[in-house]
Amino acid sequence: MSDAETITETDAPLDLTLSENELDVRREHITEFVRETVDDAGAEGAVLGLSGGIDSTLTAHLAVEALGEEGLHGLVMPSEVNRQENMSDAERVADDLDISYDVIGIEPIVESFREAFPADLDGEPDSEALTTAVGNVRVRTRGVLNYFVANYENRIVLGTGNRSEALAGYYTKYGDQAVDCNPIGNLYKMQVRQLARYVGVPDDLVEKTPTAGMWVGQTDEDEMGLGYDTLDAVLALHIDGPLSKAATARELGIDAARIETVEGLVARSEHKRHMPSAPEPLD
């Protein structure tokens, strides 16, 4: 992941809005999926990392519908780069849903990785490479803690990934997608917002600026180089859909360079969507 210039969009360039009936169908489909996944694993419930963002908040709401309050254990895992309001929102979600949760500060664990690194990093300026590497350690640390609790309590780990992030590769390998399943993984980001409103998530959480909490000031859209509405539209029409790059640009009224940005995100992250590769078997 690398920083990119913020691109501001106003209106969604493509309407992916779901009807009320479609929202009901997806709501039931997701909750049934969660129940079946837990049952098939012989587990006693699920663990979910709560960030205060829309993806984990919607996943929490749907998981409680599927499993009940006792079936979901939340983990709030702040680091020194997280805004306090996000962590407060995460605890607020747990309180609103009446689920048990623990707060585990991860910075001491992250610092232990820095100290274990063979080179002396204390005197090194925060280069882009170091910032990214440490940011990914934060994400992977949260994944390890999710599984620590899940294994101890015989639960599965719920992921919070959506379809937009999966296709664009916007996640840390063996980090926030080190999970057992992604309940909202078939929804584009704008559909995540819509379903969240539909199930009663407060508007201030629905409209929050998405961030992975990897370093100070980090936001999803800055890092990807375009807004989610444009990303969703290009994915739906060009990557998932049948339109060519030129036709997609005409349909959306955007520059072809935006589409090339999305193509690049998808291509560079192809390895994330597969099991680790190995040579072909020899005859």
CATH of the domain at 162: 3.40.50.620
Report whether 199 contacts 62 (CB < 8 A): yes
79 within some domain: yes
6 within some domain: no
Split the chain (283 residues) into runs of 10 and give each run's mean pLDDT: 36 70 96 98 98 95 98 94 77 96 96 85 73 91 98 98 93 94 96 96 85 61 79 94 94 92 94 88 87
Q: Which domain holds residue 100?
A: 20-213
210-240: per-residue pLDDT in tens?
665 565 665 666 677 788 888 999 999 999 9
Provide the pLDDT for residue 3: 34
Beta sheet of 100-103, edge-to-edge order: 100-103, 72-76, 46-49, 156-158
Provide the pLDDT for residue 11: 40
Q: How many domains does the chain have?
A: 1
66 within some domain: yes
Provide the pLDDT for residue 83: 66
Provide the pLDDT for residue 17: 86
Question: In whole angstroms, what is the distance from residue 244 CA to residue 177 CA?
Answer: 30
100 within some domain: yes
Report whether 58 contacts 196 (CB < 8 A): yes
Write down the pTM of the prediction.
Answer: 0.88
183 within some domain: yes
Provide the pLDDT for residue 213: 57
Residue 126 in tokens: 């925060």
178 within some domain: yes
Report whether 89 contacts 210 (CB < 8 A): no
CB-count burial class (<10 Å; 0-12, 13-18, 19+) for 167: buried
Report whether 181 contacts 159 (CB < 8 A): yes
Provide the pLDDT for residue 65: 98
Side chain identity at residue 186, one-letter code? N
106 within some domain: yes
Closest CA to 18 of 182, 199, 170, 165: 199
Closest CA to 185 of 4, 12, 7, 37: 37
Provide the pLDDT for residue 4: 36
75 within some domain: yes
